Structure 1
Amino acid sequence: MKLVSFNAFRTIGIPGVTYIKPDHMFKEIEVIKDADILLFPETWQVPTLVYGLKKAIFPNVETMLLGENKIEMTRVLQAITPQHVPYTEILASTEQNIIDILETFPFPFVAKEAKNSMGQGVFLIESEAQFRSYAEQNNALYVQEYLPNDGKDLRVCVIGDQIHAAYWRVGAEGAFLHNVAKGGEICNDFIPDDALDLVLSVAKSLSINHAGFDVIVSNGNYYILEFNVLFGNQGLRNEKTTVSEAIYQYILSQFVPPYPTAPAPGKIIS
């Protein structure tokens, strides 16, 4: 099986991988055409690889395209599981829409940027001045209700068609964000099975095969806040199977080469 990776870090430990820098895609186009599966392309590469060259990619096209934009992600989640999505308004950044949101949402509420991760671009809005400052910087107003919680959220990592790991991210006392990148701590105790069932059901419904889902518990209900395609590995260090091993086993289960192959040492095309 011939594997090409566009992200060396994400595919460390996968045997037989040839690494190509994304910017060198057209220089190495023949190698890419000859590959069986292309791993971790950047979003801008996906249309060319999938629709132009008809190549199989991992993560798959559904994961890549839905994971790129939080607004589109939220719209899809609203369509398939509205009871597990915070109340959300997505509007153009106009004066009338700003006024409407301020009349609709009590303080505090949450405003987000469409493309960001690791806690970046997520704001707790506690005043009109804060919201207008956010609105000046964003063409789209992406606003959600603030959900009271006990200071933590659940990160559920899906690889292939299975849950690879799940853990709580516990924020510092009084902190709005729970992300590890923002100082959150990891806890592996008392992971609720029904939350895992929810995430796996949503992932399968959307054909998501590599993502870290963020779930919050509020008033006895589970809410999916978002999912990140390139999730962090800080909470995965104690897992028996590494992420790269899980990816490789999933790829093997999905792709059967026409003849037996033996893993070859990976190589890099600079």
Structure 2
Amino acid sequence: MERKKLRVSLGKRLRSCASFDCPGVLPNWEDYPERVQEVLREAGEVFYPSLLYDDLFRSLGKKIFPRNYYHFLGNKIRQTDLFQLLEISHPRTRIYSGRHRAARILADFSFPFVGKTPVGSSQGAGVYLIEDAQGLDLYLEGHRPAYIQEFLPIDRDLRVVLVGGRVIHAYWRVHPPGEFRNNVSLGGRISFEEIPADALEFAQDVAARCGFDDVGLDVCHAQGRYYVLEANMVFGFEGFRAAGLDFYELLARLDDEGFL
């Protein structure tokens, strides 16, 4: 018997899941049909409400899935603050505003180090290897505040995708020659070889402690321990396609199992 579509997801993420109605994100509340409005009013939990409606439904006391999604989406400063607050292993990172930033940065970091665009960057854009004073000055010209992070000597990182705390896929991203970034969009190679179980356990612990219900965590191993580099709420599907997997079919399977 077909399950009744009693749950609602405004975003289209769960469009392949049989137990969800996914009407989409409309800019005006009154644009929704009365049927959808009534379901949303009565729902105890709303899935993927979008940045537009996330705070609205939270203010009414509704549960939101995924938790801690929209406010951390694309915001490295908020993510770093959360990792530091929870004492999660994360590369040493500091934010610099105000005057004399270069001098303060060089008092804290030695070359080389990494500068990043702290909000809105993705796919490796906005990530800079800073190797000298000239490079630092160039970075600072376009970044207020400055987001400075220690450089870890790694040749790969592990993308671990988790939904509801469950690992649904993981793969290495290996940087190409002459490139320090591992992003697939920049030529990084995907590998499924020897993915360590303890790295997946680390990622699960990070997701659970941070309340990340739908996330692609970038994890690396350096200096004898694991680090979480970044949390990606929007991530590419190249690693899924390389493994012959369909992300939306995986979500549908989780829904059929009653996991969502």
Shift of 1:26: 4.5
User: Normalised by the size of structure 1, how large is the TM-score?
Assistant: 0.81
Structure 1 stretches of 5 or more lacking a match? 255-270
Aligned mates of 1:148, 1:51 — CA distance in 2: 44
Give the structure 1 partner of residue 77 of structure 2: 71
User: How far apart are residue 177 of structure 1 and its match?
Assistant: 1.1
2:110 to 106, 109, 118: 106
**How much identity, in percent, do the aligned residues show?**
31
Say whether 1:96 aligns with 2:103.
Answer: no
Partner of 2:238: 234
1:42 equivalent in alignment to 2:50: yes
Secondary structure of the corresponding residue to residue 134 of structure 1: helix
- Show structure 2 runs of 5+ residues with no match: none
Residues 228 and 177 of structure 1: CA distance in aligned 2, closer, same or farther (over 3 Å): same
Counterpart mapping for 1:98-247 below 5 A:
98-115=102-119, 116-149=121-154, 151-237=155-241, 238-239=244-245, 242-246=249-253
Q: 1:234 to 1:24 in 2, by over 3 A?
A: farther
Deviation at 1:80, TM superposition (A): 1.9
Within 5 A, what are the aligned runs for 1:24-63?
Answer: 24-28=28-32, 30=34, 31-35=36-40, 36=43, 37-52=45-60, 54-60=61-67, 62-63=68-69
| Higher relative contact order (Cα pairs below 8 Å, separated by 6+ residues) | 1
Report the AA paired with residue 14 of structure 2. T
* 8 Å CA contact retained: 1:165, 1:236: yes
Contact 2:8 2:39 in 1 (8 A): no
SS at match of 2:73: helix
Deviation of 1:247 (Å): 5.3
The secondary structure found in structure 2 opposite 1:67 is: coil
Could you report, residue by residue, the CA deviation over 1:18-72 in whole angstroms, capped at 9, with x for unpaired residues?
32234244422852451345433332431112214x4433222x23323342111
In 2, the alpha carbon distance for the partners of 1:118 and 1:12 equals 25
CA offset at residue 246 of structure 1? 5.0
- 3-state secondary structure, aligned to 1:13: coil
**Contact persistence 1:43–1:68 (CA under 8 A):** no
8 Å contact from structure 1 (residues 38, 57) kept in 2: yes
Alignment root-mean-square deviation, CA? 2.4
Cα distance in 1 between the residues matched to 2:30 and 2:127 = 36
Q: Deviations over 1:145-190 (max 9, x none)?
A: 10001x2110001111211111001111121111112221211110
Distance 1:191 1:247 in 2: 23
> Deviations for 1:187-216, whole angstroms, at most 9, x for unmatched residues?
111001111111111111122110000012
Q: Is contact 1:158–1:165 with CA below 8 Å preserved after alignment?
A: yes
Which segment is superposed worse, 40-49 or 70-79?
A: 40-49
Alignment CA distance shift 1:189-1:126 (3 Å): same
| Maintained 8 Å contact 1:171/1:183 | yes
